[in-house]
Amino acid sequence: MDIIEGVRAFLATAQAGSFTAAADQLRISNKLVSKYIATLEEQLGARLFFRTTRNLHITPAGEEYLPRAQALLNAHQEFIASTENDLPQKLRITAPTNFGEDFVIKAIAKFQKQHPSLFIDVKITDEMTNLAEGAFDLAIRISNLNDSSLISKKMGRTRLIIAASPQYLAEHPPIKTPEDLTNHDLIIDTNVSSRGKIPYVLDGELRAIKINGRISVNGARATASLALAHNGIMISPDIFIRQSIMSGELVEILSEYSTAWLPIHMLHLPSPIKNPLLKQLMDFLSEEFSNWWDQPPHIAGTKILCARL
């Protein structure tokens, strides 16, 4: 137990006169207040309260400890306030290349204007950077998360789209079902799938079909460039090819099937020291990307499933 939590529980109980009232004040459970105080009593080697089934009274030892406990809590709070003012005005962030350049940087620019004394160091990379080794405060990733010790918060999601150029589609066999994809070449984006699999939804179930590919790249822009050059079928988060779809340069394929989604996460290392700047940035990004939870109209009501490729 954190000694400060025990002290807070003791002071609240002494002031309120019961574990229940102290629990309400601290917004924790009655059982946890009792546990904190029992642990504190064990650490001090003294009983702080007389307990009966109906009443609770502070002991002489508790009376003696009361001003010392208050002084300890005051000193702790004063130190926290002083260190908050001394926190370095710097944040180090890593984000995926395309998403970082197209979206994150714009949001960071707005946030920095609100905090002109803040220095923000952004590393744009598709590598899964180790946050501790790179001294990063925050990582943004578009993926399903494996088991991790990192603290995560979702900031949005993006739908995977299967697409190709009109010329490619005109020169190759028609695609009416996912099985038809096996007659085509896949431009493999290793950031989405290194195994040449395309996810789709059939009867509310997420499935995947493997198709062959003769070109492999590690970026959405490169994948789109190859698709625009009529080199094959691509799969990409919709945020990167939406304009090409709208302009007709690319055509979405099997839209009634491709309702697989990838979540967008913010990740940071667990730390007993709270960085208020990091919290402000995460809250800001959550607000900036809050509309990224909306469903496109043509799949409204469809069960949303996340791809694991």
Q: What would the pLDDT profile of 150-174 be if each residue is shown by its tens digit?
A: 888 888 888 888 999 999 999 999 9
Write down the pLDDT at residue 295.
Answer: 47
Give this prediction's pTM: 0.63
User: In this structure, what is the dihedral angle of CA atoms 227, 231, 236, 241, given to the nearest 10 degrees?
Assistant: 0
Rounded CA-CA distance 179/279 in Å is 46
1 pLDDT band, cuts 50/70/90, is low
Q: Which residue has the tokens 């000193």?
A: 75
Q: Is 221 helix (H, G, I), strand (E, B) or coil?
A: helix
Q: Is the dihedral of CA 283, 288, 289, 291 positive or negative?
A: positive
φ and ψ of 74, to 5 deg = -60, -45
Rounded CA-CA distance 117/91 in Å is 11
pLDDT in tens, 254-291: 887 755 778 899 999 887 567 888 988 999 998 888 77
Rounded CA-CA distance 302/305 in Å is 9
Return the half-sphere exposure (C-beta side, CA atoms, 13 A cut-off) of residue 82.
6
Write down the pLDDT at residue 88.
Answer: 58
pLDDT in tens, 72-98: 999 888 876 666 555 558 899 999 998
Q: Is 151 helix (H, G, I), strand (E, B) or coil?
A: strand
Q: Is the dihedral of CA 187, 188, 189, 192 positive or negative?
A: positive
Write down the pLDDT at residue 51.
Answer: 86
pLDDT in tens, 35-76: 899 999 999 999 999 988 778 899 999 999 999 999 999 988
User: In this structure, what is the dihedral angle of CA atoms 217, 222, 223, 226, given to the nearest 10 degrees?
Assistant: -110
Q: Which domains does the chain have, with CATH numbers?
A: 3-86 (1.10.10.10), 90-157+262-298 (3.40.190.10), 159-261 (3.40.190.290)
- On average, the pLDDT of the chain sits at 84
Return the half-sphere exposure (C-beta side, CA atoms, 13 A cut-off) of residue 193.
24
Helix 60-86 with 3-16: angle, nearest 10 deg: 130
DSSP state of 273: S
Q: How many CB atoms lie within 10 A of CB 24?
A: 14
